[in-house]
Structure formats: C-alpha cells, structure tokens
Structure 1
Amino acid sequence: MASADADGAPLLSEEPLCPGSCSRELELREFRDRYVIRSLDGAAAFAVARSGGSIRPLSPEEAAAGTGSDCKVSRIYGVVGNIRLLAGSYVLVITSRKDAGSYQGSPVYHVNSMKFLCCNEAIKHLTPQERRDEAYFMSLLRIAETTCGLYYSYDRDLTLNLQRASKLTAGRIHKPLWKQVRDDCHLICPTADPRFVWNKNLLEELIEAKLDEFIVPLIQGSFQSAQFTLKDRPVRITLFSRRCNRRLGTRMWRRGANLEGATANFVETEQLVEYEGLTSSFIQVRGSIPLLWEQIVDLSYKPRLSIIEHEETPKVVQRHFHDLSQRYGETIVIDLTDKQGDEGDLSNAFAAEMGRIPGVRYIHFEFHHVCRGGNFDNLQALYNQIEEAIHKQGYFLMNTKGEILWEQSGVLRSNCIDCLDRTNVTQSFLARKSLDSQLQRMGALLSSENISLSDNINDIFKKLWVEHGDELSLEYAGSYALKGDLVRYGRQTLPGLIKDGMSALSRYYLNNFHDGVRQDALDLISGYYTVSQGSSSPFHNGGFESSSYLPVASAIIVGGITATTFTLSQVGRNAQHLISSIICAGLTVGVVALVKANGKQFCSRPRLCGLI
C-alpha cells in the first residue's frame, strides 16, 4: 500500500522519469464510478469509467485530488492494456513483480501477478445469450491473468536483440517505448520488433489516448542470468528468449505455420556474455515445421499427425524463410524429427519443400536415433557437419565504447515436433560451443580451453539452459520440459525419468482437457478473435458439449472396473456373481469403446478461431 499524506495523495517518488521511460510505480484508486491510475514518479494520470471503459487523461490538479472514504487505494506496477467485450472494457494491470536481473544496464522485471479491472456495468442490458457469452469471455480473461513467463523493462525496448539495438540512433532510444515498437508497423523504423510484444493488441486504446508513460510492452519467453569468475575476473551470462506473437498458442492447437508463414512456438534465443567491458551476443531461433499441418487431440497419448493439403504450401514455406533471411541473414535449418511413422512423413514433406528454397541449408539429424540411450555427447556429430558454417556466421561483439567489432551474419533454426525438448537439448549444445568461442575471443579463455574444464562454470551454464527450457515448455505445453537431464548431466538419470514421466502425464491431461479453453484465451487476448456487438454468438451451435459428459463416462468406467473386480472375486461363492461380472465388464468395455471412438469430441477444443 502506498504511503499517503493528509489529503490521501501518496508521496511522489524522488527519482524522476528519464526520457522515453515508463512509470515504474503507480497508484490505483478505485472509486464507485471510475478507476484512477496515477504515476508516482511522474505527473501523469488517467481515469477509466466503470460504466463503459472510456479512458480520459487527467490534469495534475485532478490527479492530486483527495481520495475520500469511498476510495480503495493500492500500488500497481504497470498497465498491460485493455480489451473490449460485450458489456464494456476490462483493464489489465500488473499487481506484483519480481526483479529478474538487468539487460545492458536496464532492470528487467518478471510479472508475478496481474488482474483485470472490470468496467462492465452495461452487462445488465445484455440479452441472456450475450450474458452467457460475456461470462465465458470473462473466464478467458481469468486464464489470461495467470499467463506465465512475462518480462518487461521500464526504460528499454526488450523486443530487440543486442545486435539490432546497437544500430539505433540516440534520438530513437529516447522515444516512448510504444513508439519504438509501433513505428515498425508503419515502416518508419524497421529495427524494432513488434513480433515479440505479447500485449500488442491490448495497447491500442492507451496509444490513442497518448498515455506514453503508462504503456509497457511485455515480452513472453525466458530471462535467466548468472555470474561466475573466470581467472579472477567476473563473467556474466544472460539467456533471453522472446516468443513471437504471430501464431501464439498451445501445443496441440497451434502447429505448423499459418498462410502468412508465421510458425507456432517461434522463439528467438539470445545468449549474452559480458567480460572486461566486452559484450557478445549469439542468436538462435526455433519454430514449428513451416508447413500446414495439425495434430488434433483425441484422448490417445500421441495423436496422429496430419499434413493439410493446400495449394499455398510452397508459398507459405517461402514466406517463412524470406522473413528469416531478411531479419537474420543466412539460415541453417536443423530438423531433429524422426524418419518413421507420421513424424517421418512430415519430415519428408519438409525436406521436399526445403529442396525448393534457394540459399537455405537444410540438415536432417534424427535425434532419437543418434542420441538413443540418452547420450547427449553424440550431438558432436551434428556440430561437425555445421562447424564451419557456425564460425562463418559468428556472433555479435562490441566494446565499452559501443563500437561493433564483429557481427553475426546468419542464424541456426532448430525444430523437432514441439520445438521443446529435443530442440532445447540441441540448442544448449550449440550455445555451449559458441560460449567457448565467445570467451576465447574476449581473452577469457585460451584457444585450447573451454568451460567444461570448470565444473562450477559448466554447472551454471547447464542450469541456465534447464530453467530456460522449463519456462518455454510451461508456456507452450503447460508442463516442464522433458530430457532436462541430458542438458544438466549429459545422460538420463532415474530421478530425471520419473520427472519426465510426471511431466508427460501433465502434458497429456492439459492438452486433452484444458488447452482448448486456454487457446481461446490466447486468441482473445492477442486479437485474433475480436468481440463485436450484434454478431452471432460463437457458442450458440444448438448441440451438446461432449466434454461435459466425460466425467460421467470416466466414473462409469472406474465403477465398472471396480464392480467387475469385486464380483469376479465372489464367483466361487455364488454363481450369480459371474453374470454380474459379465454385465459390468460389458458395460465398461462399451463405454470405453464409445469414448475411444469419439475421442476428439470428448476433448477440450478451441471455439473462437480455426487452426490456420
């Protein structure tokens, strides 16, 4: 709670805002008819009407007015944006944060919790169907409040990796953060990267109201940082991943690419190294196989992969790799998928399309076959194939004066099916090779040395990548990453196998029974589905929800198995129990067969947007 003076207005922060910075701490005042959000380190403030969500900037005099007895006052740490539904507007604010470290001298924060402020008094004027729709939309907002892996800075555009940020003009850096991102949409400043702004759709009304001090771009991904000593000198390594918002979604409901060439689970990962005034950055990317394909959940542990036949497929692949080459330069594709079964069919289709893409090198590396038995070191065979190209692409390096000494001229693009477990293991291996090279060039290591010579440094590096993999996996699949042992220890361990088993069960449950709703929440927040008055309800289909019958079917199956087991144990005492056993077993088998035959209908499915 903010401390307040006699008038009920809190004391302002002593530290003034820097040009281009956002307000670091805010006061939220909740009145009966409005919300007032006031900067504690600046003079800006604005009000949001509870009746409909209209936003109005406040003058310093209005902002300094007393709170009164009917006002609840609390501290918040950022305004994420707002969204309009049927009954009005909902404003998302950051209610708690955690210091995650720093990026090039600017503090980076992790969003711990968020909440929506409801401005929906018009709900009483809605029709019964509209009220049901609004209730569902509000349930999606509650899911969005729990979004994990969100990071932000008050004074730095985190959408840009170091190489791109180093080329900005001083005037560009002092613009408000939203302008640094927004300008790219209008091709004024092509260096910004709006792909990585998670709340891009939510910022529109704040931008229109010119509330620059309150507009905070959020990045979803992972931010890990650690420091160690090498030859009595401190070295800081930072691992920063940025998730793309162009095909945002959950594991099973966002696969492959859309028609524009944007792929699911596309993540840019930057490994930053700081030593003796030198700063180096190494970029890798991951993303789903850029074909049109799907994998619809149907209660089976591993649903069938299906390639969608579409005349636009060649152009989709071309658009994807044209975008990569424009942003990163020469691209090397590392396909880690299997060559058998449905996965093999998808891999073969990908390889065939890559044969038509000039200037992009495609390498297939069957991870499960080469690294069978959990032998992480077998990835050296992959590295041997691309070592020369990696050295040619290099990494970014600059000195304390900001002078660029070396630039990264290309990128490695890795994928498996989910772009999680196999991809994370492979990227960590390649990143370790790059770290050795970075430290050698900086003078921290001799050309014959590597970080593996120090168990402490090696453990720190592995821990960073394990935590990074877990965070990305939670965002996409809802569970921790598998194969974490391969990164941490270079082999599979018994505790690791148990942890992987628990994570696999968690994925199965979430993917089948929860992710359809979570996908709806992402589509709503990201603007892929827009709520509009007067349009037909997306939920009014006149049918029944099969998923609502799943608990009943599950209870019948469990009860049938229990009854069958019990009656069989009593057969020797009473022959009638045999008939009971047969009836119970038949009923159980029938229900199991019904559920299996209609598996897709019993699973949680998104209801707002299609797959492509």
Structure 2
Amino acid sequence: MKPIYQRLNLFIDGQDAYTFVPVEPVGAQSLTIHRATGDIVLNAPNTPVHPTASRYGKTIYGILGMISLALSEYVIVMTGREHRARLMGHDIYRAADFDILPLNPNVSVQNPPHPVEGHLLALVRSHLFGGHFLFSYGWDLSRRLQAQWQDRDNEGRMALWEVADDRFFWNKFLQSRLADTDIAHDLSPYILPIIYGTFDMRTVYIHGHRIQLCLISRRSRYRAGTRYFRRGIDHEGHVANFNETEQILLVDEKAAGRLSLAENLTHKLSFTQIRGSVPVFWAEVNTLRYKPDLQVMDLQETVDMIKVHLRDQVSQYGSQSLINLVNQKGHELPVKEAYERAISQIEFPDVKYQYFDFHNECKHMRWDRISVLIEKMQEDLVQQGYFHLDTAQDKAVHMQTGVVRTNCMDNLDRTNVVQAALAKWTLNQQLKAIGVVSDNEELEDFEALTRGFREMWADHADLISKAYAGSGALKTDFTRTNRRTKIGALQDGYKSLTRYIKNNYFDGARQDGFDLVTGAWTPQKNPVTSSSLIADTRPLIIRSVPYILSFALFMICAGLTLPRTSDYSLLYYFMLWFVIASLAVMFMMVHGIEYVSWPRLIPPTDIIYYKGPGFRSAHNGKGLTGPLAQKLDLSGQSNGFGARLLLNGRKRALTVTGMEEGTKKRVD
C-alpha cells in the first residue's frame, strides 16, 4: 500500500502558489497549488522551491482537502496531531489542530471581507475543532480487520484513500479536488483519509500472555448530523447516527517477558457491532419544551427504504440481528410501532428482530437484568461468531458472518449499555477459545483487563454522545463500575440539561457545519445571495421578547437592592415585573420554534410543516391555534398574527435559504 507523507513543509510564493514539500523522503515530488487558477501540479523529483517563496511557520502533518465557499477556495491542512497508540505496527493519531489557507489572495481567514464568508469559515472551523478525527499514515482505520483480510490480495499498490470504506471516509468530499484529477493516483501520498470516531487501546498481561484490547468506532458521513436534526432514514436508505464499532483483541501466546511487537502477535480477533437510528421516516421537532413534538411520517416509500438499508447492511456484514430498545409506552411508543409495522412487511431470511423493554426490565437500577437480553441473543451471537486470524498459520480460523444492530431512541445511552454487554460476553468467549483463560474463569477474575474494558467502553460512549447529542453519555457509571449509582443518576441529570440547552440553542450551527464539510450543501459564488444565512428575518416582536424578559429579570434583581420603608413597599413593583416576565416566557413557549436554533443551510421545513399521514404528538410552539385564536384573529386559517409570524417570517427565511443558496445533494 502506498505510504502517505507524514510531514510536509509549506512554502508560500507570495500571491501565486502554495508548495508542499515532503520532509521525508528527501527529493520526493512536491505539490503545488496555484492560487489564481486552483490548478494542482505534481512537480518532478528534486524540483527546487521558487527562491521568492517563504516557508510557513508550522509543520504540516497532512492535507485534509479543499473546500470552496462564497468568495474563495481554501486548502485545509493539519498542523497538530496527538499520538494515541500503535496498532498492527502503525501509529494512530488524532487530528488536533488545523489551518485554513485561502487561494484568493484578497481573502483573509482572520478578517473575511464579507460577513457571509466569515460565517461559512466559522462553520468549517467549528466543525474541525469540535470533532474527534482519527487517522493513520499506513493503516486503514476505516475498515474492520476482517474486511482488510478478505481484500488483502486485491489491494496491491492501491493507496489508502482508494481502499477506504466510503461510508467512513469522512473527508472524502474535501479530498474530491485531489481525488478527481487525472493524476489522482500519483497524488496518493498527499491524500490523507480521516475517520470521525473513537479509538482506544489497553495492554494487560494474563497468565503470561500479552493482551492488547482495542476499541474503534467509525461514524458514517451519510445522514450525518446532530440529535434532533438528523433522525430516522432518508430517501437513499441511509440512517442517522450510524456507527460501526469494532473490538479488537490481540494476543501473544509467548511469555510476557519477551519483547513483542504488535505485528508479531499470534492471535488477532475482531468483533463488530453496528448502531443506527430507527429506519423509518420520523423526527422530533424542537419547541423549547423538554420533550420535543414527536412526528412519524407514514410515507409510501418507508418499506422500500428499509429494504434498501437492510440489503446494504446484509451485503456489508452478513446476517442482521436487530435489537430494538425503544420504550413500548409513552412518548416513544409510536416510533416502536412504526418500526415493527415496517419490519412485519419485510421478508429477509437473514434479518431477525428482537425487542427488549430496557427501561421496564432494568427499572429500580437492576442493571444485571441485561443478562436476560444476552440469553435471548446467545444463539445469534454464537452463530454469527467473530473474526479470528491465527498469524502462526496465516489463516482465518473464524469469520464473523453477521452483526447485531442495536438502536434505542437516540442510539446512545441504552445502546451503549447493551453493546458493551454483548462485547463483554464475546470477549469472554474469545479468551477461552484461544486458551488464555480456563473454562472455570471469567473476565471479572482479571481486574486490570476488566477495568480497562469498562473505561474504554465508557469513554467510547461519551465521545459518540458528544458528537451527536452535545454531552457525555448517560448511564456510563454502570459501564465503568458495573453498577448503577445515585451519583451517576445526578450526573445524568446534569448531562440531560446540557443536552437540552445545546439541542435547542446551538445545534443549528453544528448541523450546518456537518452539511458544509461533508458536502451535503454547497454555497454559490456570490455572498450577496446568501445574506439570509446571517440575517435575522423574524418579525420585530418575536426578536424583542427575549430582551423584554431580560430587562424584567434585571428589574427584579435591581428591586432586591432598593431601599424600602416596609415589607410591602415594593410589592406592586415586583408584581409588575413578575407579570411582564411571565408573559414573556409564555409568549416564547407558545412561539417556541421561533426561538430554536434551526439549521440554515438545509432547513427542515418539510418536517416542521409536514401535513401528510402519520403521527404527531402535538403542534406546540407554532403560535396560538383553535377557537380562541380565531376569535382573536391569531390562527393560520384567519391569516392572523400568530400564524403569519411563523409562516411569513421563519418559514420564508428558511425556505429561501434552502432553495436559493445552492442546496444540492451530494453524489459520490
């Protein structure tokens, strides 16, 4: 496999060109990007740098790709990296720092000449620094161990980006400018693929065996986004928050005292699981209430899209065991029913459905009840197996013939607990199969391994949750300690509050960052037509109410410091401002969707204003409706104030943004 240059020196030739020169090997072909035309040129070996070029002050550890915004195209480079571990003889890094270099010499990244360009740059920068990106210069992090083994004879001299799993090649859109050129194969040493996910590795010793336990998760770039703005399935069969999680076990059967390298380990075992949103068309519409309005859209193509989704998973992994953890009553029930209705219409011999009432089975902190699900899944786990490569014989002893697909409502907290339990059961079977532990021993008998296992899975859960929901995962106290605690429950309350704040007030911009960097939305080359991206087009009264609330709260606080002649001297003063504050809060809740931070690049207007068949728990946050609203001329039917604010204000702004700003679907 062609190696990727690990360090580059960047030379800037005034306003003419960027030239990237590999530090090693000396004399390798340098890469020049001409700023005026955007042309990419691979120079001949030992080509000297132009004498007028000045060296950039930072070492470049990789080119993430190029992105075109409203006023300029930009080169995104990595200027900082963090070493995580060494896997299979290759170093694994996390991307830690980035620089954005404009091709247009008249554009400054620090002081963009137009606010729209500044806004788009801020979205790119926020996405880069807010994500958890991993890479290796010589190991394909995007593919599980079994897939690499199966394709080993076909790779030949192919480069990393050419063999990377398309779903997890996070910067594929950014790299398209290099990968789509006629000299793409020759540019391979400069094309660095990264994944958005997690990576952890722990080393322990058991009975003289050197054990390396590694956990990798890979997040799909399709239907990528945040918790409430990416739910369910799309019209191409992709589901939200799809993650592949691989647990790798490396075992050296020699004495632990011998110096051993990872690539010389005798046994290499892998167990893969997947998670993804409930594969029907559904959403939760934010309204500032703690529980958003649940909406299930009963579309004609629902069953067809589930078939597309499951057919793709079967082709990738083999048989599918679907574990559904969505509650069977209350707020989540309609999603469970829609899922099961669709599954009942599908006849796939390689797909099995298993429901587990997580909250009912594990209520009162009885988390040991997860064993009930393990017992139900044991036959499938044994049948699907795991991948086992015996390097001494250079053959695969076992192949994993299927995966467990787990989902809850968010595919986070309950899913994390169940996936960790399945991984623990499988790890125990693997260690016994290769003779590291005896039949009468269990994983819990080895404290160092058990502690490392729990910490890895808890950290993994936190990172996946932060990427999707904005906070660490819930229930990780059980993953870390194997028991549920009251302290953990209090921490979960704090995390839930953090999620509420971020999901309602910050995730719109985060979603825009996902859509911009993955190429789901591309801007036009005219910032004037994109002015609605930064303009607040809501009516004045909608914008003014938060200021009225803030002023009322300020006056209440100020009243606490005012002198008084008696206990009742300020009674009417406080009553006045409490009434004003209360009315402001009520107004904001009634018009809740006007105060949610919605995505502006691809606004979800088709979901917010959906009127087709299906289920909708409520229509909160859309202004006053009903007989009272009609009497006061506030309803949408009477074209009154409440509906007119919504439809003529936010809806128009979102629609214009989505349809006229260059929205288009990515095609790879």
2:320 corresponds to 1:331: yes
**By how many angstroms is 1:218 displaced?**
0.4
Q: Which moved more, 1:20-29 or 1:50-59?
A: 50-59
Q: In 2, distance between residues paired with 1:298 and 1:560?
A: 27
Q: In 2, distance between residues paired with 1:273 and 1:165?
A: 16
Structure 2 residue matching 1:419: 3-state secondary structure: coil
Does the 8 A contact of 1:52 with 1:121 survive in 2? no
**By how many angstroms is 1:334 displaced?**
0.7
**By how many angstroms is 1:362 displaced?**
1.1
Q: How does 1:397-436 map to 2 (within 5 A)?
A: 397-400=388-391, 401-436=393-428
Q: 2:78 aligns with which of 69, 72, 94?
A: 94
Q: How does 1:116-195 map to 2 (within 5 A)?
A: 116-121=100-105, 131-170=114-153, 172-181=155-164, 193-195=165-167
Does the 8 A contact of 1:482 with 1:500 survive in 2? yes
Deviations 1:30-57 (A, max 9, x none): 3421322111123122223344544332
Letter in 2 for 1:28: L
Does the 8 A contact of 1:46 with 1:57 survive in 2? yes
2:466 corresponds to 1:474: yes
Other-structure match for 2:596: 603
**By how many angstroms is 1:292 displaced?**
0.8
**By how many angstroms is 1:354 displaced?**
1.3
Q: 2:557 aligns with which of 553, 557, 562?
A: 562
Other-structure match for 1:188: none
Q: In 2, distance between residues paired with 1:350 and 1:252?
A: 18
Q: In 1, distance between residues paired with 2:528 and 2:279?
A: 33
The number of residues matched between the two structures is 576
Other-structure match for 1:390: 381
Structure 1 residue matching 2:363: 3-state secondary structure: coil
Deviations 1:236-266 (A, max 9, x none): 1110111111111011111111111111110
Deviations 1:456-494 (A, max 9, x none): 221111011011111111211121111111111222224
Q: How does 1:191-202 map to 2 (within 5 A)?
A: 193-202=165-174
Other-structure match for 1:21: 3
Q: Which runs of 5+ in 1 are unaligned?
A: 1-18, 182-192
2:197 corresponds to 1:221: yes
1:490–1:375: structure 2 CA closer, same or farther, 3 Å change rule? Answer: farther
Q: In 1, distance between residues paired with 2:567 and 2:174?
A: 69
**By how many angstroms is 1:100 displaced?**
1.5
Does the 8 A contact of 1:561 with 1:585 survive in 2? yes
1:84–1:436: structure 2 CA closer, same or farther, 3 Å change rule? Answer: same
2:71 corresponds to 1:82: no
Q: 2:355 aligns with which of 353, 364, 368?
A: 364
Q: Which moved more, 1:47-56 or 1:512-521?
A: 47-56
Q: In 1, distance between residues paired with 2:383 and 2:207?
A: 28
Q: In 2, distance between residues paired with 1:499 and 1:342?
A: 23
Q: Which runs of 5+ in 2 are unaligned?
A: 254-265, 608-668
Deviations 1:368-425 (A, max 9, x none): 1111233221100111111111111110111114301111111100011111111101
Q: How does 1:66-81 map to 2 (within 5 A)?
A: 66=51, 70-81=54-65
2:85 corresponds to 1:109: no
Other-structure match for 2:239: 263
Q: In 2, distance between residues paired with 1:450 and 1:481?
A: 27
Q: In 2, distance between residues paired with 1:487 and 1:554?
A: 42
Letter in 1 for 2:29: A
**By how many angstroms is 1:322 displaced?**
1.1
1:560–1:357: structure 2 CA closer, same or farther, 3 Å change rule? Answer: farther
Deviations 1:162-202 (A, max 9, x none): 11110124451531112223xxxxxxxxxxx2100110100
Does the 8 A contact of 1:255 with 1:293 survive in 2? yes
Q: In 2, distance between residues paired with 1:159 and 1:258?
A: 23
2:344 corresponds to 1:344: no
Does the 8 A contact of 1:38 with 1:63 survive in 2? no
Q: In 2, distance between residues paired with 1:250 and 1:550?
A: 28
Deviations 1:111-163 (A, max 9, x none): 11222112233559xxx9x9333222112122122132211111122221111
Q: In 1, distance between residues paired with 2:556 and 2:418?
A: 44
1:213–1:119: structure 2 CA closer, same or farther, 3 Å change rule? Answer: same
2:534 corresponds to 1:552: no
Does the 8 A contact of 2:322 with 2:404 survive in 1? yes
Deviation >4 Å, runs of 4+: 63-68, 545-551, 563-567, 569-575
Q: Structure 1-normalised TM-score? A: 0.89
Letter in 2 for 1:46: L
Q: In 1, distance between residues paired with 2:388 and 2:462?
A: 28
Q: Which moved more, 1:349-358 or 1:554-563?
A: 554-563
Q: 1:49 aligns with which of 34, 37, 41?
A: 34
**By how many angstroms is 1:229 displaced?**
1.0
2:579 corresponds to 1:586: yes
Letter in 1 for 2:354: I
Does the 8 A contact of 2:556 with 2:574 survive in 1? no
Q: Which moved more, 1:547-556 or 1:398-407?
A: 547-556
1:537–1:386: structure 2 CA closer, same or farther, 3 Å change rule? Answer: same
2:304 corresponds to 1:322: no
Q: Which moved more, 1:167-176 or 1:445-454?
A: 167-176
Does the 8 A contact of 1:77 with 1:96 survive in 2? yes
1:144–1:115: structure 2 CA closer, same or farther, 3 Å change rule? Answer: farther
RMSD value over aligned CA atoms?
2.4
